[in-house]
Amino acid sequence: MIAELNEVPMKSPIFDSVQIGDELAILQVPPVNRTTLALFAGASGDHNPIHIDIDFARKAGLPDVFAQGMLGMAWLGRLLTGWAPQSQLRRLDVRFQGITHLGHAMTCSGRVIEKFDGERSVRIELRSTNQYGQVNISGEALIALR
Amino acid sequence: MIDRKWIGHAWPPSVLHIDRTRLQFFAKTIGETNPIYTDVAAARHAGYPDLPAPPTFIVAAEMDAGAVERFLAELAIPLSKLLHGEQGFTYHKTICAGDTIAVHSRITDIYDKKNGTLEFVAKTSRVFNQLEELVAELRAVIVCRHDRRT
């Protein structure tokens, strides 16, 4: 049983078999709705009313509430931890380029763009794109591989 | 205009005890279905001491402690003009349920673009666990949009 504790059963890509240009399995998330925004406000601790209160959003001159940036980044996190175990994630950086509105159905994608032989790690380019082809979040991750 | 005197300013650390229920709620909210994020046995089987906190969860520490709210109030950035510009994490150790993290943040830069209609605040944080180990470093850029009415 002790051996089992140290075992890592989750499949992890192997450094030598990963190639530059490899695509991570796409993560398609359901369209953003108000329930998700309300729940994420509670779960993340971000209670900014601009994401959950339409009255507040309208007073700020916006037509409606919009998604928390960190919700979109959490989905990119899922894309990565679905590819390799989280303990191998070394860096994650994003730029929020466009607002994710209600109804946006985000597709999270990633592609290996560089391999580092010394530390056996890979750099991954990340994107979160809506159904209209607009990139709302772009970024990069660094993942260590065996 | 955001007062540039805040460049270099540091706040007292935000402390958050990471509990399973909160992590399970967070995982559910982001649609995470991998059982290691909700089932302690699965997490242990995968080599973690308890449920791992998903990679972006750490931000909750400063939210819960009210540090973000305080920082926005002190810099006089209204919520209605606030946008998240950039966010980055460097990970040294996976944070798990049972850990208590302390987030130490500092303003590293304040600058503007487009004739001052957009102002940017760059903040970096160092995150320590209960053993005083550096577990993560955070980078954030927040944007204040003066073209949006309050």
| Partner A contacted by B5 (CB < 8 A) | no
CB B125 within 8 A of CB B103: yes
**B30 inside domain:** no
**B76 inside domain:** yes
Order of strands across the sheet that contains A121-129: A27-28, A107-116, A121-129, A135-144, A89-96, B82-91, B134-145, B118-128, B100-113, B14-17
For the CA atoms of A131, A133, A139, A142, the dihedral, rounded to the nearest 10 degrees, stands at 70
Q: How far apart are CA A84 and CA B39, in angstroms?
A: 18
Classify the complex by whether its ipTM is higher than 0.90, answering yes or no: yes
Which residues in chain B (51-90) have CB-CB distances under 8 A to chain A? 52, 54-57, 59-61, 63-64, 68, 79-90
Sort residue B114 into left (φ over 0), alpha (ψ -120 to 50) or beta: left
In order of their start, the domains of chain A are: 19-32+69-144 (3.10.129.10)
pLDDT tens readout for residues B44-95: 999 999 999 999 999 999 999 999 999 999 999 999 999 999 999 999 999 9
**B37 inside domain:** no
Taking CA atoms, A117 is separated from A15, A121, A144, in Å, by: 9, 7, 10
CATH number at B90 reads: 3.10.129.10
| B146, closest residue in chain A (CA to CA) | A60
Global pTM? 0.95
Of A38 and B148, the structure prediction assigns the larger pLDDT to: A38
Give chain A positions within 8 Å (CB) of B61: 45
**B140 inside domain:** yes
CB A79 within 8 A of CB A109: yes
The predicted structure's pLDDT at residue A10: 65
Q: How far apart are CA B105 and CA B109, in angstroms?
A: 12
| A1 pLDDT higher than 70 | no
Q: How far apart are CA B142 and CA B72, in angstroms?
A: 10
Is A70 in contact with B149 (Cβ distance < 8 A)?
no
pLDDT tens readout for residues B31-43: 999 999 999 999 9
Strand (E) or helix (H) holding B125: strand B118-128
**B23 inside domain:** no
**B67 inside domain:** yes
pLDDT tens readout for residues A88-126: 999 999 999 999 999 999 999 999 999 999 889 999 999
Residue-number span of the structural domain to which B82 is assigned: 4-18+52-145
**B46 inside domain:** no
| d(CA B132, nearest CA chain A) in Å | 19
Rounded to 5 degrees, φ, ψ at A74 are: -65, -35
CB A95 within 8 A of CB B85: yes
Domain count for chain B, please give it: 1
CB A115 within 8 A of CB A15: yes
Exposed / middle / buried, residue A118 (Cβ in 10 Å: 0-12, 13-18, 19+): exposed
Q: How far apart are CA A113 and CA A136, in angstroms?
A: 20
